[in-house]
Amino acid sequence: MAITAAMVKELRETTGAGMMDAKKALTETNGDMEAAVDWLRTKGLAKAAKKSGRVAAEGLVGVAVRDGRGVAVELNSETDFVAKNAEFQQLVREIANVALDTATDVEVLKATHLNGRPVEEVLTDAIARIGENMTLRRLHVLEGDTIVSYVHNAAAEGMGKIGVLVALKGNKAKAQEVGKQIAMHIAATNPASLSEADLDASLVEREKAVLSEQARESGKPEAVIEKMIEGRMKKFFEEVTLLGQKFVINPDVTVAEAAKEAGLEVTGFARVVVGEGIEKKEEDFAAEVAKTRAGA
């Protein structure tokens, strides 16, 4: 039987399954709509799809490093309770290891095979089993002579609420030692970029405009104002760039100076925080209880 677009649309609306899953279900059941629904339910796809609209802002960042390549993968769940689940943590670990081998971005990672099946399918099955929506949201890849990783608020080895990668040039043993300290610094300070040259131009312009307006309100001569702006922008760069920041381990030196003293050069970094940028729905527990009592 020919599978039409209208049939696929109807099945998607009935079950909430994805287009390709709906089409496959109809193909497998020779166009029998009821059997296709059951096929999706059997595979856990319909159940997973019904959860796809729920906000997944908790979860873990998993990091993995090997041979000058490091990855940080963010896998989100709806609740922190699930992030403590051993099955969820194993999934984070396996996906990070798969990403380390081949993935270049999150879409490639979703299509990469894990235990003989695409990561996206493995994740769909996990949603059905565990009972919460999950999102494979971000992948950061970092390459360099030596890559050092660090996780803050670790839930298990190699995963936590904040994942950091640092790339360094220089003696590998020294890079591991100092790199770990710099990674902890990055977790704490959240630099906007490696250096002034890497900063987003729009961020620089916005800061300069604000500082210029503040300086001009002082009423000082233009020549003095220019010097004020120059000084304030220098301070801004020191605060937001990794290499310009005062090293938390030794505030008497910058990160760049600390690396240089160790015979190292920091060439890149990545910092991934669970749920960063996701708008979380605020739960009003009192209102929820009141609503429940009113409906009783």
Higher-pLDDT residue of 14 and 203 is 203
pLDDT above 80: residue 241: yes
- What's the pLDDT score for residue 47? 56
pTM, full prediction:
0.75
Confidence of residue 49 (pLDDT cuts 50, 70, 90): low
Percent of the chain predicted with pLDDT > 70: 89
3-state secondary structure the chain: CCCCHHHHHHHHHHHCCCHHHHHHHHHHCCCCHHHHHHHHHHHCHHHHHHCCCCCCCEEEEEEEEECCEEEEEEEEECCHHHHCCHHHHHHHHHHHHHHHHCCCCHHHHHHCEECCEEHHHHHHHHHHHHCCCEEEEEEEEEECCEEEEEEEEEEECCEEEEEEEEEEECCHHHHHHHHHHHHHHHHHHCCCECCHHHCCHHHHHHHHHHHHHHHHCCCCCHHHHHHHHHHHHHHHHHHHECCCCEECCEEEEEHHHHHHHCCCEEEEEEEEECCCCCCCCCCCHHHHHHHHHHHC
Confidence of residue 12 (pLDDT cuts 50, 70, 90): confident
Higher-pLDDT residue of 224 and 155 is 155
pLDDT above 90: residue 269: yes
Least confident of 152-161, 166-175, 257-266, 277-286: 277-286
pLDDT above 60: residue 287: no
Mean pLDDT for all residues in the chain: 87
